Structure 1
């Protein structure tokens, strides 16, 4: 596996809201955008499912309109989701759900999706949490796919002002790498133009190949939006 030279910041965040069915779409949207910004798009569906079921459990067993908080963080290489509410009496219980037993299927889905889950009782609240496994090798690293490793090796070497990583142990932010990546793309476009190729056609073909590799279900996002929504 490669060594991640450019750290991906994944700072813990939380979102207070009222546990109501109409709020769930907005909560899922914030989760999706944060995970995209964190470079974990492959966890979006599982995380949204778990959050939906944990919040629905609050609505069902504590009551609609209950003040609730979603907290998302990294526990080493696991994604941790926590849903807290002020009721310490209605404890989540995993039932052997059947087709006839609609209530109790929620936590069964969480149990089947997450690697582990549990409940923490506090003085004035409880926290129901679950953790999803990732393919990360460190909490601020990236997934070691071949195309990502090739790009990181290129960005490590590439810089108009000299090597981006002068020392083996230096770690730079992903923002620095992003600027270097833009520089690489610009220079490649100059190279294509100098060799009689159409830069726009190359960009279109690259975008098409990128979209195809992501798959038909990929959802675009704009970095930075998630933080604003989480604190609005």
Structure 2
């Protein structure tokens, strides 16, 4: 179940991470993809990140993406039918039990928690 990968956030990394998470459920793969895509879109290609999937003490699955930009926080938008972007966190918000951000001095971790093991 535990998964951890350090990588540079480039568009080609998104399907690679999904493939590496093939043993996890589709919701885990979806959330990891959305969180990684947010880094690419809002912090830039080549940003170093760590992607993690782990089990919580309550038996849920937690997906995390850590990056080195503690002050650039994700914003939940409500995209309209004609918007070309802005649906990633809204999708994650619908799929996840809960989600949030943990800020450190030199990094932040955006995470979401899925009900059950996500297997």
TM superposition score normalised by structure 2? 0.91
Query: Which of the numbers 88, 111, 114 marks the counterpart of 1:129?
Result: 111
Question: Is structure 2 residue 76 aligned with structure 1 residue 94?
Answer: yes
Query: Which of the numbers 24, 27, 36 marks the counterpart of 2:14?
Result: 24
Listed as ranges, the gaps of 5+ residues in structure 1 are 1-9, 36-43, 137-142, 144-232
Determine the C-alpha separation between the residues in 2 that align with 1:135 and 1:16: 22
User: Greater Rg, structure 1 or structure 2?
Assistant: 1
Describe the SS at the equivalent of 2:50.
strand
Listed as ranges, the gaps of 5+ residues in structure 2 are none
Describe the SS at the equivalent of 2:21.
helix
* 1:165 equivalent in structure 2: none
Greater fraction of residues in strand: 2
Greater fraction of residues in helix: 1
Question: Is structure 2 residue 62 aligned with structure 1 residue 62?
Answer: no
* 2:89 equivalent in structure 1: 107
Give 1:89 shift. Answer: 2.3
Runs ≥4 in structure 1, deviation > 3 angstroms?
A: none
TM superposition score normalised by structure 1? 0.48
Measured against aligned partners, the alpha-carbon deviations of 1:24-51 in whole angstroms (never above 9, x if no partner) come to 1110011113x2xxxxxxxx21111111
Figure out how many residues of one structure are paired with residues of the other and give that number. 118
Give 1:19 shift. Answer: 0.6
**Could you say if the C-alpha distance between residues 17 and 99 of structure 1 is closer, same or farther in structure 2, counting changes exceeding 3 Å?**
same
